Structure 1
Amino acid sequence: MSAAWSWYVIALIVLNIVGCVWLLWWTGRRKPGDPAPTDTSHYWDGDITEYNKPMPKWWINLFYITIVFSIGYLIYYPGLGAYPGVAGWTSAGKHEQDKEKFDARLEETFRPYVGQSIDVIARDPTAVELGRAIFSNTCATCHGSTAQGAIGYPNLTDDIWHWGGSPDQILHTVLDGREGVMPEWGKVLTGMKGDNAVDYVIAYVRTLSNPEALQGDFMAAQGKPLYEGVCVACHGIDGTGNQELGAPDLTDGYWMYGTSKASLYQTIAHGRHGVMPAHRELLGETRSRLVAAYVWSLSHEDGAGTAQ
């Protein structure tokens, strides 16, 4: 806050306090010439009289006490512009104190799981429930409250893992994030086989989960050499992918961006760029282990505890 604004705020506060004191004094005193409290000459219905009685002294004194209290409050706490107050209290400082207190309680709750493997943590029902709560607060925005994902966000409840589904791989994903890039191949493929090249590759890719469908499919047959010339570097000759690169398995029937021809065309011709943010700084290692254990438990029910 600038000095000018600070003095402006101080002036407003002082004027309001002085104004309240003056108003109490002016309205609470009897002025010369005022009629007696029982003599106002205002009558209604013959027996109802309007009196002119000021407020009781004890009531007015309570107002004065309130004003004195407000002055003391403004001196003790920061209320006069940029003046910090004699107590040195700040809302940011109070927040930090409360945060430290609750962080200490959380650390005590999480202490039993420090450094444990997520498959071990997942056997503890309490830990699974803690992980579920962290997931709901942090991960459900993208993966959904049921962890079944959405278009562009993977389903975490099945056994399909683009970056690997081992405990260490899942933990690495949560802690340090992932970045998957599908390059744009539209221009390259068109230069190789003409305007229908992307459609040919789509037709062939769809046969990878059912090789017998390749027989007699002209478009898929045209797409096979294109796939082998461009796509095998990441997805492999058999289309099973490469978890080291995050290249998905094209034979499992799962398509993160949808199964429609338009979606596959967008993926191949124009590429995709998927990012899983790193959560190491946001959650810390132990909370990341808990949420990773919860995610691991969703597809390993036999080796996981049941959330309460």
Structure 2
Amino acid sequence: MNEMLGPAWTAFISVLVVVNIIGCLWLIWWTARPRVGEEAEGAEKNHVWDEDLKELNNPMPRWWLNLFVITVVFALGYLVFFPGLGNFAGTLGWSQSGQHDQRLATVQAQRDAFYATFDGRDVVELAGDLDAVQAASRLFADNCAGCHGPSGQGALGFPNLADKDWLYGHEPAQIVASIANGRQGVMPPFLATLDPAVADDLIALVSNWKEPPLPQARRAAAEQKFKVTCAACHGQDARGNPLLGAPNLSDDIWLHGGSTEQIRQTVMFGRQGAMPAHKQRLSETEIRLLAAYVYRLSGQADQ
């Protein structure tokens, strides 16, 4: 903080501190010095003011005055060794930021030493190691639970990591890539290109792919519209495309809600989602540990 002060502020603070210390010394000296006609130390003094206002005054004990002097000497010593006079850093060179960096480096060294025990091991192997899973659970709580929930079951707009439905693939390398590089999911809006009646039938088809509540002719028309409008991302069979992160529409798992209105909102107005990249904040080993935790959470490790 001191490094941010300009010369004027440094001078102001230094003068203010020195003047206060000198003022304290003067006050101690002025109150402790003997006065003409004053009784001996420890004697009670009965002062009379305005003829009838009396004040009983006991002199301050000498040890108390000495304690004040020691306090001032300590303050002077502190200002020599530690920062307190503007930009003067003190002879020891101590600073809050320096102490913070030192402690952070110590914690980081301990952290690196701990995670080094998991270096060089693949995701599947780590998923079967209970010590690794326990370490990964703490990483998950710190980095993932805010979006995916403490148990990984997600919420609207945030994928459930505890099932076997995967937007970008369930292979260990794919999970590692999602964590390290992040993902950007985009569903374009079709409000301007879909006729309302056609949109209603398309939504009915998607909401119940196996048995859509549509007459045969309208169902065939909706399926044809799906092939033209949606199949490029979601596939002809609506089972999705992990390369694009396009979800499977033929099951009952919905990232943004499966009600008719929620699906309509998705189709007509689109959706956007972002999984942040973690390769700048987590080491390679930590990313593999997280991938192993998700891999195990989804039940893939039991197969």
Q: TM-score, normalised by structure 2?
A: 0.89
Q: Deviations over 1:95-114 (max 9, x none)?
A: 22112211111111111211
Q: How many residues align?
A: 293
User: 1:183–1:270: 8 Å Cα contact kept in structure 2?
Assistant: yes
Aligned to 2:198: 197
Matched, 1:116 2:121: yes
Q: Any stretches of 5+ residues in structure 1 without a counterpart?
A: 43-49
Matched, 1:136 2:141: yes
User: 1:199–1:219: 8 Å Cα contact kept in structure 2?
Assistant: no
Aligned to 2:257: 258
Q: Deviations over 1:223-251 (max 9, x none)?
A: 22221111000001110000001001111
Aligned to 2:244: 245
Q: Which of 6, 10, 30 does residue 6 from structure 1 map onto?
A: 10
Aligned to 2:51: none
Q: Name the SS for the 2:273 alignment partner.
A: strand
User: 2:162–2:294: 8 Å Cα contact kept in structure 1?
Assistant: yes
Measured after TM superposition, the shift of residue 118 of structure 1 is 1.2
User: 1:119–1:303: 8 Å Cα contact kept in structure 2?
Assistant: no
Measured in 1, the distance between the counterparts of 2:219 and 2:142 equals 45
Matched, 1:77 2:78: no
- The equivalences for 1:175-194 within 5 A come to 175-189=180-194, 194=195
Measured in 1, the distance between the counterparts of 2:46 and 2:28 equals 26
User: 1:207–1:220: 8 Å Cα contact kept in structure 2?
Assistant: no
Q: TM-score, normalised by structure 1?
A: 0.88
Amino acid at match of 2:207: R
Measured in 1, the distance between the counterparts of 2:270 and 2:262 equals 10
Amino acid at match of 2:21: I
Using a 3 Å threshold, how does the CA distance of structure 1 residues 303 and 27 change in structure 2: closer, same or farther? Answer: farther
Aligned to 1:300: 299
- The equivalences for 1:8-157 within 5 A come to 8-35=12-39, 37-41=42-46, 52-157=57-162
Measured after TM superposition, the shift of residue 11 of structure 1 is 2.2
Using a 3 Å threshold, how does the CA distance of structure 1 residues 16 and 196 change in structure 2: closer, same or farther? Answer: farther
Using a 3 Å threshold, how does the CA distance of structure 1 residues 220 and 28 change in structure 2: closer, same or farther? Answer: farther
Amino acid at match of 1:18: I
Q: Any stretches of 5+ residues in structure 2 without a counterpart?
A: 48-54
Q: Deviations over 1:96-152 (max 9, x none)?
A: 211221111111111121132111111111110110011111111111111111110
Matched, 1:167 2:172: yes
Amino acid at match of 1:140: A
